[in-house]
Amino acid sequence: MTRPVATPARPEPSTARPAKQPANLAERSWWSRNQRSLAPYVFVSPFYLLYGLFLLVPILVGFYLSCTEWAGLGTPRWVGLRNYRDLLTDQSFWAAMGNTALYVLFTLCVVVPAALLIAQALNARGLRGRDMFRMTYFMPVVISPIVISVVFGLIFDKDYGLVNATLQAVFGFGGVDWLGDPAWARVSVVILVLWRWTGYLTIFFLAGLQNVPRELYEAAAIDGAGPVRRFWDVTLPALRPVTAFVAVTVLVNTAQIFDEPFLLTQGGPGESTLSVAMFVFRAGFQRQQLGYAAAAGVILFVVVFVLGQLAMRALGVGRSTR
């Protein structure tokens, strides 16, 4: 850190009030001596204070809790790493991890590309009713979860559901037990994820597309590139920073997925749609195993943190493209 170039002029000794004036630098207050170098830290301190209070402290307390057995009342009992050891042999936890991995994979492989394609379509010249389309795609994000739960419960019902009725009318079969069969229940959850988040991600891609210089497309067209080639060679490279941001965000958020399986299937049938976040919720707030829940939460945190870091490095998030 460089020192200030301009130093304040030393005060002239005064005979009028000599007792109140410091005789030399050593006699000045600590704050007076350091205020210039400390001032920036004072200004940035609110952030670090909040960062400490609301991020570091919960992480540290969570880690402490994860090494205890605590039902909520009374004093937590220290059990060391026992909760972690138990988690490794808990089939419910591994089921939740497997389901969560499936949701993450689906979101990255289907939802993100779908959002990109929809954004590309919405960005097309001459598209009428663009605002209406944008609003329609964005609407699922703002609909109340309770409404989603009721409506999708009806849509996916085996006997009275819209999906089965449509399948029956169009293809002549419609007996899929969307919410009662473990495999189909997972499919139902990922369909809900697709419906709920594709439009939201589309907004990011649309913003990115609108910043792609039109000259690049014109140059590519002059070189004889068709629409598909222009998409691969112009659009995708230009959208790389946005895509990287969306992919990392989606990875981190989907790894903590809770709403969709909770709303649609409550983690069932059995534990076939249980996610890790639901596992944590269930252990902490339905079974009063706060230490165990904290241990699962710490594992989730570590996994998400590591994956997020790896993804950011792989996709070059935060690095200059030059």
Partner 1 sequence: MNGMSRRSLLRAATGAGLGALALPGLTACGSSSGRTVSSGRVDVSLWTHDPGYIKTFQAAAGDKALMQGSRFDYRVKATNAAGSDVVTRTIAQAVAGGNTPDLAGVIVDQFPRVMGSAIAENLFVDLSDTVRPFEGELLKLAPYSVDKIPYGLDSDNSITVLYYRQDLFAKYGIPEDLDTWQDLARVGARVYDQHKVSLGMVSTGDNGAIVNGFLQFLLQRGGGIFDASGELVLDSAEAVEVLEFMAQGVRSGFLMSLPDPYGAVCGAALKSGRLAAAAMPNWYNVYGLQANAPEDKGKWRMRTLPRFAGGGHVASILGGTAFCVVKGKPNTEAALELLRRVYLTREGQLLRYHSGGFLPTLKSLYDDPELTSVADDYLGGQRVFDVYRAAAADLPLYYQAPGMQFLSDLLGGHILQALQGKTSAAAALKAGIRDYRQQVKR
Contact pick of 180, 184, 233, 307 for partner 1 (by CB under 8 A): 180
Dihedral through CA 185, CA 281, CA 253, CA 94, nearest 10? -60
Stretch that binds partner 1, among 149-157, 213-221, 226-234, 314-322 (CB under 8 A): 149-157
Q: Please name which of 25, 1, 33, 61 lies closest in space to residue 294, comparing C-alpha atoms.
A: 61
- Please report whether residue 177 would count as binding partner 1 according to CB under 8 A: yes
The residue among 68 and 107 lying less far from partner 1, judged by its C-beta, is: 68
Cβ distance to partner 1 smaller for residue 68 or 198: 68
Among 63, 110, 167, 181, binds partner 1 (CB under 8 A): 181
Alpha carbon separation from 146 to 153, 244, 257 (Å, rounded) = 11, 32, 17
**Cis geometry, peptide bond prior to residue 13 (ω within 30 degrees of 0):** no
Tokens 């991995």 label which residue? 101
Closest listed residue to residue 110, CA positions, set 209, 238, 196, 210 = 196
Q: Which pair of tokens denotes residue 181? A: 């069969």
Q: What does the alpha-carbon distance between residue 235 and residue 279 come to, in Å, rounded to a whole number? A: 40
User: In angstroms, what is the minimal distance from the CB of 269 to partner 1?
Assistant: 5
Q: How far is the CB of 12 from partner 1 (least distance, A)?
A: 25
- By CB under 8 A, what part of segment 26-85 binds partner 1? 30, 33-34, 37-38, 41, 45, 48-49, 52-53, 56-58, 60-61, 64, 71-76
**Whole-number minimum distance, CB 184 to partner 1, in Å?**
12
Q: Tell whether residue 270 is a contact of partner 1 (CB under 8 A).
A: yes
Does position 291 bind partner 1 by CB under 8 A?
no
Who's near 255: CB < 8 A, 6+ residues apart?
A: 100, 104, 276, 300, 303, 304, 307
* Site mask for partner 1 (CB under 8 A), range 96-135, x = bound: ----------------------------------------
Contacts of 148 (CB under 8 A, 6+ apart): 140, 192, 196, 263
Contact region with partner 1 (CB under 8 A), list: 220-228, 281-289, 294-302, 303-311: 281-289
Q: Give the tokens for residue 130.
A: 């663009």
Determine the distance from the C-alpha atom of residue 283 to the mean position of all C-alpha atoms in its chain, rounded to a whole number.
Answer: 22
**Least gap, CB of 162 to partner 1 (angstroms):** 12
Task: Give the residues across from 78 on adjacent strands.
Answer: 68
Neighbours of 122 (CB within 10 A): 18
Which residue, 71 or 236, is less far from partner 1 as judged by CB? 71
Q: Mention every residue, 6+ apart, whose C-beta is less than 8 A from residue 110.
A: 190, 194
239-268 residues in contact with partner 1 (CB under 8 A) are 265-268
Residues forming the site for partner 1 (CB under 8 A) = 1, 30, 33-34, 37-38, 41, 45, 48-49, 52-53, 56-58, 60-61, 64, 71-76, 86, 90-92, 150, 153-154, 157-160, 177, 179-182, 265-272, 282, 285-288, 292
